[in-house]
Structure 1
Amino acid sequence: MFLLRTNRTFAKMFAAYGLAAFGDYLDLIAVSIIMGFVWKVDAMTMALLPLAFAIPGIALSQTAGILADRWNKRNLLIAADLIRAALTIALIFAPNVWTLLGLIALRSSARVFHFPAQQSMTRSVVPADQLLQAASLNGAVFQLSKAFGPLIGATVAAAFSPAVCMGVNAICYTISALLLLSVPLQRGSAGTRQPESMRTAWRDGWLIVLRTRLLLTSISFALIGLAGIQLVDAQLATLLREVTPERPELIGWLVSSIGAGGLVGVVWLRRFKRLSSYGWPLGGGVTLIGCMFAAAGCFQPDTPLWFILLSSFAGGVGTGFTSVGMNYIVQKETPADAVGRVSGIMESLSGVLFVGAPLAGGALVQLCGVSPAFLFVGLAIGIVGISGIVLQRRLWSLPSPVAKSDTVLGQAPDLPG
């Protein structure tokens, strides 16, 4: 917590980010309740809900990244929060499902502009030797929001109404904006002159990714891990229904175990000041994700509960490693005036996977069965992850040497005396 005590600007950003991240997941269940139980929409219309959340990221993330590098980042974050608050209030009064989906798409579009601005501003207000701590803190609050946001939202929606849940969400976004408003305006300034043409800025962002081996390799590994998760994640209920149909509660335990593992992975990385090699957090994280799915492919009706939960926990640790490691690498290895663009590129590629990978995973399950699909995907991802660890000196150039007083991942800490 040293960073939060000594850097007031980041502390305010962290609190605002926590509220905004919590809001992103708070009314997720409330919207599903309205569509599924109040309006009783058909399955095809229900399938449009995740698309309304994901497609704006594919379409707008790279533009948002360019603007995050050009505009005042603090003001961009405030505008995104206030727009989301207004659209969330509008959701309460949506008269039909099509209006609701349209408002969700618009709100998701505002969220797209939040992420690269957050990443870019973090780089500008946090010293280089504290970037890993900042990425770990943001990763921890994201994991907590992802785990508890839907749970609390569902509880509020059930105890009161979905409208109350949406109202609480709007308040979260508004408080986030007010916290950012107390940050000095100059802390969010662009700092350097940007190219005049949007097309030039977009091209330069891609050239930075394609010509920087550290970034290109790291993004590739992060996307491989994400692709594996999205390929079979949606089929988890299908797997458990086939293997242990009499234990439907297992899906909740698995999700909780993965979330707990993710939080532990994020917190563990906070022990270090820097990463001396990127193969361990990214290659290791992808390996753990692969092991989780390969183990799931071996589940049987008599598989011990401890094995199921332990493999899920290990996979969660892997997701924590890859998410925090990737955020740190983008902030550390990207030029300061291009963090927004590189973050936007990463988000747009992730959005494509969120839409396409579940469809490919469904086809794979139809082709070879659910357990073989989990086993195949897990082994393939695990092999890629192990290769990243073994070949890390070839795949990643090592960062510059660190001071002896630094504690780094991938290098043994100095011993006293």
Structure 2
Amino acid sequence: MKDLQTFSIFNMKNFRTLFFVQVLSSFGNWLDLLAVNALISFEWGLDLWANAAAVVMMFLPYIVIGPLSSVWIDRRDKKKILIMTTFVRAGVAVGYFFAPGLWVLLLLIFLKTSLASIFEPARQAAARSVVPDAYLAEASSISQMVLNVTKITAPLVGGGLLAAARPQMVFMAEGVLYAAAFLLMFCLPALEVMKEKDQPTSVSYWEELKEGFSLIRSNRILSTAIWITSISMFIIFLYDSFFAPLSLSLGLDKTGYGVLSSALGAGSVAGAFLCGFFKKWKQNPLLFMSIGRVISGTFMIVVGMGCYGLAHGNLLFWIVIFAVIGCVGTALFVPYGYILTTETPQHLLGRITAFSTAVQSAASLLAPIIGASLGHWFGLASVFIISAISFILLGSISMGRRDRFLVPKPIRKAE
């Protein structure tokens, strides 16, 4: 078949609409990241435990609410779910503006993230409905680019707004973004609710919930991809909170810290773009993911050695290293999204997305505590070196698995 033109998927109106919905929604999700902490620390003068509680409220719904609501997501019209969750999130964002204290704010954070944990599996399923099979690799790479760009730019924009106004104004801007996404969703077509062929109508909620777990257990490609990604997320969050002290150890100042963060993000965006441009990885995405872990680990060892004086103060050297780490890191997430959509029957996509996100979120909650303990006991360099070795081991072990030779089967559709 003739190769598809890179990102020609944007010629499809329904995908363009869903793309802009994701951009607005994702930007809204990350815009208040700094504002919440600023409100807690500077406006209310609370201690670090309050900031930690806010982080827990941001992750907990992905672990609990997402999986429990996944059957409901698969049973319902995805367009209506997207519209409902976005409308309520707009109201919650405005509610942040009027939050009188910490407990109300924590409740609002939990509610907003609960809605996000429902929105994302529904968006993934909606994308699967409007994207033809041949364009799934492009859709996965574009989705990853949106996530990477908004994770970088939204907090920066939020920080800029904080410099000019109080945190409450950031929350109002966030509400406007959700409102815009809400209005845009009405341009989406009706999305058919997919059902498994010959499935009895009397199947209970718990039986349907277990159906998702059964698929993960029985599908080696899908289960391997989920576990590689979840373990990788755990490793990433071992060190993710320590880039500021790392910059000091590398002999860089506050400006250098910002530049390195930007290099990491720019590398991630470039990697997602390259995955959309060069699609050979589709022949064996698991192998591609595994090789990416080994390369990431190798470069992470260089970062750990920087704590011992390697290239001390050499900003250009570290820009290149962090850009490569960000670029190679995409060798995990784009193929993972592709495997998730190609290996999951459409009527189960909400459940599988929610389950995998729950595992990753649980890892993200535990890892910073372990990383902080390692840094306290053995020094900052140990966190990065242990993470590097873990990446290399993970990649090597997954490359050695027999199911890495398996290629995703033709996409199974519900009838």
Query: Does TM, scored on the shorter chain, surpass 0.5?
Result: yes
Aligned to 1:333: 343
Cα RMSD, aligned residues only = 2.0
**Cα distance change of structure 1 residues 317 and 104 upon mapping to structure 2, 3 Å threshold:** same
Q: Is 1:180 matched up with 2:180?
A: no
Deviation at 1:131, TM superposition (A): 0.5
CA–CA separation in structure 2 for the residues paired with 1:313 and 1:269 = 15
Unaligned stretches of 5+ residues in structure 1: 403-417
Residue number among 96, 99, 102 corresponding to 2:104 in the alignment: 99
Secondary structure of residue in 2 paired with 1:95: coil
8 Å CA contact 1:261, 1:316 repeated in 2: yes
**Cα distance change of structure 1 residues 18 and 69 upon mapping to structure 2, 3 Å threshold:** same
Letter of the structure 2 residue corresponding to residue 298 of structure 1: M
CA–CA separation in structure 2 for the residues paired with 1:8 and 1:73 = 17
Give the alignment of 1:253-268 within 5 angstroms. Answer: 253-268=259-274
**Cα distance change of structure 1 residues 374 and 195 upon mapping to structure 2, 3 Å threshold:** farther
Aligned to 2:392: 382
Deviation at 1:392, TM superposition (A): 6.0
Deviation at 1:51, TM superposition (A): 0.7
CA–CA separation in structure 1 for the residues paired with 2:158 and 2:202 = 43
8 Å CA contact 1:288, 1:314 repeated in 2: no
Unaligned stretches of 5+ residues in structure 2: 1-6
CA–CA separation in structure 2 for the residues paired with 1:57 and 1:394 = 29
Q: TM-score by structure 1 length?
A: 0.90
Secondary structure of residue in 2 paired with 1:298: helix
Letter of the structure 2 residue corresponding to residue 395 of structure 1: R
CA–CA separation in structure 1 for the residues paired with 2:51 and 2:396 = 39
8 Å CA contact 1:231, 1:357 repeated in 2: yes
Residue number among 190, 193, 202 corresponding to 1:189 in the alignment: 193
CA–CA separation in structure 1 for the residues paired with 2:299 and 2:238 = 13
Deviation at 1:113, TM superposition (A): 0.3
Letter of the structure 1 residue corresponding to residue 385 of structure 2: L
8 Å CA contact 1:156, 1:164 repeated in 2: yes
CA–CA separation in structure 1 for the residues paired with 2:247 and 2:101 = 35
8 Å CA contact 2:342, 2:410 repeated in 1: no
Q: Is 1:162 matched up with 2:172?
A: no
Worse overlay, 233-242 or 165-174? 233-242
8 Å CA contact 2:74, 2:193 repeated in 1: no
Worse overlay, 276-285 or 321-330? 276-285
8 Å CA contact 2:193, 2:347 repeated in 1: no
Aligned to 2:360: 350
Aligned to 1:223: 230
Give the alignment of 1:46-61 within 5 angstroms. Answer: 46-61=51-66
Residue number among 368, 371, 376 corresponding to 1:361 in the alignment: 371
**Cα distance change of structure 1 residues 32 and 60 upon mapping to structure 2, 3 Å threshold:** same
8 Å CA contact 1:25, 1:150 repeated in 2: yes
Deviation at 1:188, TM superposition (A): 4.7
CA–CA separation in structure 1 for the residues paired with 2:295 and 2:269 = 14
**Partner deviation per Cα, 1:265-304 (whole Å, 9 max, x = no partner):** 1000111457010234311332233234222110044433
Deviation at 1:242, TM superposition (A): 4.1
**Partner deviation per Cα, 1:12-49 (whole Å, 9 max, x = no partner):** 11111110001101121111111111111112112111
Letter of the structure 1 residue corresponding to residue 321 of structure 2: S
**Partner deviation per Cα, 1:30-74 (whole Å, 9 max, x = no partner):** 111111111111121121111110111111111232222111111
**Cα distance change of structure 1 residues 288 and 337 upon mapping to structure 2, 3 Å threshold:** same
8 Å CA contact 2:374, 2:383 repeated in 1: yes
Secondary structure of residue in 2 paired with 1:307: helix
Aligned to 1:210: 217
Residue number among 63, 71, 79 corresponding to 1:74 in the alignment: 79
CA–CA separation in structure 1 for the residues paired with 2:62 and 2:410 = 37
Aligned to 1:271: 277
Question: What percentage of residue pairs aligned between the two structures are identical?
Answer: 25
Worse overlay, 301-310 or 212-221? 301-310
CA–CA separation in structure 2 for the residues paired with 1:196 and 1:268 = 43
8 Å CA contact 2:221, 2:408 repeated in 1: no
8 Å CA contact 2:34, 2:155 repeated in 1: yes
Deviation at 1:387, TM superposition (A): 4.1
8 Å CA contact 1:54, 1:355 repeated in 2: yes
CA–CA separation in structure 2 for the residues paired with 1:393 and 1:277 = 12
